[in-house]
Structure 1
Amino acid sequence: MSWMKEKNIPFTFHDYKTMGITAKILKSWCEQLGWETIFNKRSTTYKELGPEKQASITSAAKAIPVMVEHTSIIKRPVITKADKVVMVGFDAKKYAEVEW
């Protein structure tokens, strides 16, 4: 958010950790980029799931319900424009290349 504010780029912030997120939105994101891009296997939340649960998450269909329930597992930020995912994660160099 700081980067966008510094560049005077208007945005709307949706905190899915507190506001939640729908399976429909996550399905769209996964279809656009693949569930592995959206699902953060490095997160503390993922590590707390335990090996059996982790091993069971092998597809978007299995990852989406986990992301709905445990929103901290979603990589952040997810930048969308007109329902299209523009970027996942922060990379100032890549952000500078986007037409905002």
Structure 2
Amino acid sequence: MITVYGLKTCDTCRKALKWMMEESIPHRFHDLRKDGVPEAEVSGWLDLLGWETLINKRGTTWRGLSEDQREGLDDAGAKALILEHPALVKRPLFDLGDRVLLGFKQEQKDALRERAAAEA
């Protein structure tokens, strides 16, 4: 089953979840703020995507960090920041088991449909 990581207050996450319901794509939602950030998952995401891709630099959480926290960041530093500030993760993040998708554009929709068809 696909796990959707995001925030219930995120408009894009809400759109993605609504779309998945309409498309009858089985999934479960994991609210990063309410349910916590799974440390092992963050490590895997960083290995697959790198911190530059995983962290949302356009959000208010990133802008609210001090200059010291943002400068010289690496995967280990990014992991610590994500665990402390879950809203830093770009969303939605779809965990398909063997890979992850980030964002909600046509490319992600196509991949989600393809996975759902393969699992049907």
TM-score (ref. length: structure 1) = 0.88
Larger relative contact order (CA 8 Å, sep ≥ 6): 2
Alignment of 1:1-100 (within 5 A): 1-57=17-73, 59-82=74-97, 84-85=99-100, 87-91=101-105, 93-98=106-111, 99-100=114-115
Total equivalences in the alignment: 97
Unaligned stretches of 5+ residues in structure 2: 1-16, 116-120
Show structure 1 runs of 5+ residues with no match: none
Percent identity (aligned)? 34
Q: Which residue of 1 aligns with 2:10?
A: none
Displacement of 1:96? 3.4
User: Secondary structure of 2:94's match?
Assistant: strand
Q: Deviations over 1:57-87 (max 9, x none)?
A: 2x111100100010011111100112521x1
CA-based RMSD of the aligned residues comes to: 1.3
**Bigger share in strand:** 2
Moved >4 Å (runs of 4+): none
Instruction: Output the CA distance in 2 between the equivalents of 1:22 and 1:83.
Output: 17
